Amino acid sequence: MVDLEEFGEGFRKDPHPVYAQLRARGPVHRVRLPGPGPRQEVWLIVGHEQARAALADPRLAKDESKIGFIPLDEELIGKHLLVADPPQHTRLRSLIARAFTARRVEELRPRIQQITDDLLDVMLAQDRADLIESFAYPLPITVICELLGVPELDRTEFRKISNDVVVPADPEIMHNAFARLADYLDGLIEDKQGAGPGSDLLSELIRTTAEDGDRLSPDELRGMAFVLLVAGHETTVNLITNAVHALLTHPEQLAALRADMTLLHGTVEEALRYEGPVETATYRYAAEPLEIAGVPIAQGEWVLVGLAAADRDADRFADPDRFDIRRDTRGHVAFGHGIHHCLGAPLARLEARIALRSLVERAPNLALDGPPQEWLPGVLMRGVRSLPVRW
């Protein structure tokens, strides 16, 4: 048993040395997770090959209700993609996937660019700012809220609720946040149902009917709205912030990008590999006894796939602790792998590319204005609460 709490604040700031130590001893470990509340013990996968295999292994299930456990999000929000297995997962994903095709996402490019430009107009009129507060947060929250049809006046309150859901200070705060979010989503859906057909994605989901007449139930609609709203912006905030932080702490890589914008795609992919926005995938459990890399895992035991750990595995990526925007990053698992591969990955990539290009071009003297302020607690999200910058 490895107690991750024993590594202290250093693990929160930089977990990669700990993951490297674990990988040196093997790709799978029994760990006790850090954080508030009861300390949970799980199996943690830190090897790249084993992580990709686990992410696509149907024996590692997501629907915890099958083992008599109803997670808080499912209890208060409803069934959604992150807590469903086939055939239910297949059905839910098919009802939403058409909204995230490459063509539909590309159609959002002009609006994403306009939002980006407007935010930078305000931010760059000053001398310095918190990148998250001024840019990395408002960009994706505006995009996803406009996409889903969330009123602008609700977005400040929604941010606090979302933060308490993803990185809660304690279990009671998380419970209250889920309850408030469920009430909010019910009201939002009710308003849209009463207002008649709209052009936003949530209105489209309310109307969507598959060829066989299938459509989302009220609970499923609430669950889908939850996943799209929370996962649709929290991860992109961290992607943009972590990418900027990596560039500013590796000036030779930033100079290379400035000199050749064809490296933009590689920059985003390397940022995903080097310091992706999600540290571990959401929980899986063993639906039957199995072995991973020779380690026996009993039926019903919890398994976490370490995305950040896998993407720093030297067996897959040479010199993995080096940030290199020219690297071949194919095979990274920042967005997962298999049937649960992030549905919104094309949108997140597009937002990150537009954000980075615009920021680099419009702020040629961009620099850190102090260290990042507090890395997020827990092992789900990888990011900071603020990133002071100047230009």
Q: The tokens of 217 are what?
A: 């139930």
Name the residue range of residue 152's domain.
2-390
State the Cα angle at 246 between 161 and 349, rounded to 5°. 60
**pLDDT score at 209:** 59
Q: What is the pLDDT of residues 350-365, one digit of tens each?
A: 999 999 999 999 999 9
User: Which is it for the CA torsion 24, 25, 27, 31, positive or negative?
Assistant: negative
Packed helices 138-148 and 109-123: angle between N→C axes, nearest 10 degrees = 140
**What is the domain count for the chain?**
1
With 0-12 CB in 10 A as exposed, 13-18 as middle and 19+ as buried, what is 38?
A: exposed
Q: For position 309, which CATH number holds?
A: 1.10.630.10
pLDDT in tens, 83-93: 999 999 998 89
pLDDT score, position 230: 82
**Confidence at 268, pLDDT banded by 50, 70, 90:** very high
Kindly state the percentage of the chain with pLDDT values over 90: 63
Report field, pTM of the whole predicted structure over 0.95:
no
Give 287-311 pLDDT, tens digit per residue: 999 999 999 999 999 999 999 999 9
Would you place residue 36 in the very low, low, confident or very high pLDDT band (cuts 50, 70, 90)? low
Which of 155-164, 194-203, 338-347 has the largest mean confidence?
A: 338-347
- Give 123-145 pLDDT, tens digit per residue: 999 999 999 999 999 999 999 98
Quick one: pLDDT band at residue 221, thresholds 50, 70, 90?
confident
pLDDT at residue 383 tops 80: yes
Q: What is the CA radius of gyration of the chain?
A: 21
Terminus-to-terminus CA distance in the chain, angstroms?
47
Task: Tell me the C-alpha distance between 296 and 285, whole Å.
Answer: 13
Residue 104 buriedness (CB in 10 A; 0-12 / 13-18 / 19+)? middle
DSSP string, 318-343: SSTTS--TTS--TT--TT--GGGS-T
